[in-house]
Every structure is written in structure tokens, then in C-alpha cells.
Amino acid sequence: MIKYFTEHPKNNNMTYFQHFCFSCNLGFQFSIASIYAYIHAVFPFTYETSSHDYAATILNAIDEKKIHKV
């Protein structure tokens, strides 16, 4: 049973806790990015590059950790 919790993090050179923190941080970044995207949808003159900026930031974070992508 523990294998289900540790296999993926181990394959990505992380402990369970490191993976937990990293994934929570990504979730937080996605949440903030979505708020900016909704605001931009209503007020197109605001946050004009935020979606691109957050996407680039998130991809860089994943690449730096060398996460195995699906």
C-alpha cells in the first residue's frame, strides 16, 4: 500500500513530503493564475500577459525538478 504513495515521488527523485509540497505549490500557482485569467476575461486591459507568464513559470518549475510528464 505504501508503494502507491511513494513510487511516483521516488521516480521523480523526491520524497513523499517533497512531492506533496511541490504539488501543493503548483496547485496554488494554478489557482492564482485562474483568478487572474477570470479577471482578464472581464477586464481585458488587466493582466494581459499573466496566463502566459504563469504558464511559463509553472513549466520552468516542472522542468527544474525534472518531473516525468505524462
pLDDT digits (tens, 9 = 90+) for 4-49: 899 999 999 999 999 999 999 999 999 999 999 999 999 999 999 9
Per-residue pLDDT at 63 = 86
Distance in angstroms between the alpha carbons of the first and the last residue of the chain = 22
68 has a pLDDT exceeding 70: no
- CB contact at 8 A, 13 and 66: yes
Per-residue pLDDT at 69 = 57
70 has a pLDDT exceeding 90: no
Say how far apart CA 70 and CA 65 lie, in whole Å.
15
Give the CB-side neighbour count of residue 51, counting CA atoms within 13 A.
9
